[in-house]
C-alpha cells in the first residue's frame, strides 16, 4: 500500500476526548512544569447562551489573560469558559477518573497565540488549543460560581447574552494546580483534534441547588416552546495509542 493510501487510511479520530484517566497509568513526567496562570479580570466580556451550554467570553485580542508552562510551549490566550453537566447529580462530567464520574466539569479554553493568528486557525492544529478541565463535586455553595449563576436569568434562551464585568476567573480555581495531561479533541462539534488537555487533579465544589440552576437554561429561543438544557456531556472515547501524564508523583 502506497504512503498516500496508508496516510488516507490513518485514523483521523484516534485522539478524541473525553477519556477515562487511569491515575495509576498516568506516570509522573519530570519534564512537565507547574502550570502558570495569569488572568486579568478586566478581560471578561459577557455570558452567552450557546443553545447546548453557556459560554463566558473574554477579550482575546491581546495576551492579557494567558497560561504558559505546564505541558505547553509558549503562551496560550484565554478565550472562554463553559460547563458540562448531567440531568442528575449522578452524572455530568466529561472526563472520568479511575471510573469515577463527577456531577459537572468546567472547561477553560485557550488558544496558541504564540504560533497562530486566530482561534479558528489554531483549532486546525494539534497544538492549537489548551483546555483546562476542572471537575466539580457536590459540596457547599460556591460563591465565585454564584456570580455566574446570578446572571443566568439574563441569558435564559438561546442566543441571549449579557455583560459580565471584571470576573475573577482565577478565584474559581483550586490552590493545587497539579494536573494530568494528554492530547485530545473538542468534545462537541466540530470535534477537532486540536486540544492539549490539562485536567486538574483537585475538584472544586458546587452545591446541588447551584447545579440545578444550570439545568434551568433553555436550548430554545425566546419565541419557541421552552426546552431545558438538562445535560450536555459527551461519553468517554477510546485511548488508542495515547498516554496521560501526571505533573506530580
The residues annotated as belonging to the active site are: 52
219 binds ligand 5ON (CB under 6 A): no
| Distance in angstroms (rounded) separating the CA atoms of residues 207 and 137 | 8
Residue closer to Zn ion by CB (options 107, 110) is: 107
Q: Are 171 and 144 in contact (CB under 8 A)?
A: yes
Binding mask 78-117 for ligand 5ON (x = CB under 6 A): ----x------------------------x-x--------
CB 89 within 8 A of CB 103: yes
Which one of ligand 5ON, Zn ion, none is in contact with 106 (Cβ closer than 5 to 8 A by kind)?
none
Closer to Zn ion by CB, 232 or 247: give it. Answer: 232
Nearest distance, CB of residue 78 and ligand 5ON, angstroms: 12
Is residue 187 a contact point for ligand 5ON (CB under 6 A)? yes
CB of 5 to ligand 5ON, least distance (A): 29
- For residue 148, which phi and psi values (nearest 5 degrees)? -70, -45
Asked whether position 107 contacts Zn ion by CB under 5 A, the answer is yes
117 or 143, CB closer to ligand 5ON? 117
| Binders in 190-209 for ligand 5ON, by CB under 6 A | 190, 192
Distance between CA atoms of residues 147 and 130, nearest Å: 25
Under 8 Å between Cβ of 139 and 205 = yes
CB 8 within 8 A of CB 185: no
The 3-state secondary structure of 61-85, one letter per residue: CCCCCEEEECCCCCCEEEEEEEEEE
Which CB, 95 or 107, lies closer to Zn ion?
A: 107
Q: In the 8-state DSSP scheme, what is residue 30?
A: T
Residues 119-148, mask of contacts with ligand 5ON (x by CB under 6 A): -x--x-------------------------
Residue found under cell 436569568: 153
Q: Given candidates 48, 104, 106, 186, which one binds ligand 5ON under the rule CB under 6 A?
A: 186
Counted residue by residue, the chain has a size of 249
Instruction: Select from 20, 41, 188, 213 the one that contacts ligand 5ON (CB under 6 A).
Output: 188
For residue 58, the cross-strand partners are 44
H or E element at residue 96 = strand 96-97
Identify which range of 37-45, 110-118, 142-150, 181-189 contacts ligand 5ON by CB under 6 A.
181-189
- For residue 120, the partner it binds in Zn ion, ligand 5ON, none, with Cβ less than 5 to 8 A by kind, is ligand 5ON
User: Strand 245-246 and strand 179-184: pairing?
Assistant: antiparallel
Coil/strand/helix, residue 212: helix
Sign of CA dihedral 112, 115, 119, 120: negative
Residue ranges binding Zn ion (CB under 5 A): 107
Residue ranges binding ligand 5ON (CB under 6 A): 82, 107, 109, 120, 123, 186-188, 190, 192
Amino acid at each position: 500500500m502506497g504512503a498516500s493510501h496508508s496516510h488516507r487510511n490513518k485514523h483521523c479520530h484516534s485522539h478524541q476526548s473525553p477519556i477515562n484517566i487511569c491515575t495509576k497509568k498516568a506516570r509522573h513526567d519530570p519534564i512537565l512544569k507547574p502550570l502558570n496562570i495569569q488572568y486579568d479580570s478586566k478581560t471578561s466580556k459577557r455570558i452567552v447562551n450557546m443553545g447546548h451550554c453557556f459560554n463566558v467570553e473574554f477579550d482575546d485580542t491581546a495576551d492579557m489573560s494567558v497560561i504558559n508552562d505546564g505541558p505547553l510551549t509558549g503562551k496560550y490566550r484565554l478565550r472562554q469558559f463553559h460547563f458540562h453537566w448531567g440531568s442528575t447529580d449522578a452524572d455530568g462530567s466529561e472526563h472520568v477518573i479511575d471510573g469515577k464520574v463527577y456531577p459537572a466539569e468546567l472547561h477553560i479554553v485557550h488558544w496558541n497565540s504564540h504560533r497562530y493568528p486566530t482561534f479558528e486557525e489554531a483549532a486546525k492544529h494539534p497544538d492549537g488549543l489548551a483546555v483546562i478541565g476542572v471537575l466539580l463535586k457536590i459540596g457547599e455553595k460556591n460563591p465565585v460560581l454564584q456570580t455566574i449563576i446570578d446572571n443566568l436569568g439574563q441569558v435564559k434562551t438561546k442566543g441571549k447574552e449579557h455583560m459580565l464585568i471584571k470576573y475573577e476567573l482565577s478565584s474559581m480555581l483550586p490552590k493545587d494546580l497539579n494536573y494530568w495531561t494528554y492530547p485530545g479533541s473538542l468534545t462537541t462539534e466540530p470535534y477537532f483534534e486540536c486540544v492539549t488537555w490539562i485536567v486538574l487533579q483537585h475538584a472544586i465544589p458546587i452545591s446541588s441547588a447551584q447545579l440545578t440552576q444550570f439545568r434551568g437554561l433553555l436550548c430554545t429561543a425566546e419565541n419557541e416552546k421552552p426546552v431545558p438544557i438538562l445535560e450536555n456531556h459527551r461519553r468517554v472515547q477510546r485511548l488508542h495509542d495515547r498516554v496521560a501524564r501526571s505533573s506530580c508523583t
